[in-house]
Amino acid sequence: MKPDSLLGVWNGTINNSNNWDMKITLSVLKPFEVGSTLGIFDIPLIPCSGTFRLINVQDATLELQAERLQGECAEAESDSLELLPDGTLLYISKGKDWERRGILQRAHQEVYEDPLED
């Protein structure tokens, strides 16, 4: 997978292990590089938003760490994105006693000015 293959805005519905669905928007603002902050996410229903940092890449799966959390975010033990063969992203977030997962579709491929400059 190329480092810039996920650039853009991704939208989808994630299902929580309590069986409620919620919308998520994830914006990948930079080509991926381990250790870098890649982008931002927003889950309006909770509400929860923040940034995500890439901590590892294995094949088509990116392991992430959520940071700069705002709102009523539950602390995740692991977060990941996997690029599927059909071009969608599988999002998985796992906590101590919960899991959220869903398929995200690319909404926009444009890259905007980066608000994450460290």
Is the CATH number of domain 8-108 2.40.128? yes
pLDDT tens over the chain, length 118 residues: 888 889 999 999 999 887 889 999 999 999 989 999 999 999 999 899 999 999 999 989 999 999 999 999 988 999 999 999 999 999 999 999 889 999 999 997 755 555 555 4
Q: How many whole angstroms separate alpha carbon 103 and alpha carbon 25?
A: 11
Strands (E), 1-118: 8-16, 21-28, 37-43, 48-58, 61-71, 78-83, 89-94, 99-108
Domain extent listing, the chain: 8-108
Residue 71, pLDDT score:
95
CA angle 101, 84, 62 (to 5 degrees): 70
Q: Contact at 8 Å (CB) between 114 and 30?
A: yes
- Longest distance between any two alpha carbons in the chain, whole Å: 37
Residue 75, pLDDT score:
86
Q: Contact at 8 Å (CB) between 109 and 7?
A: yes
Residue 27, pLDDT score:
95
Residue 115, pLDDT score:
53
Residue 117, pLDDT score:
54
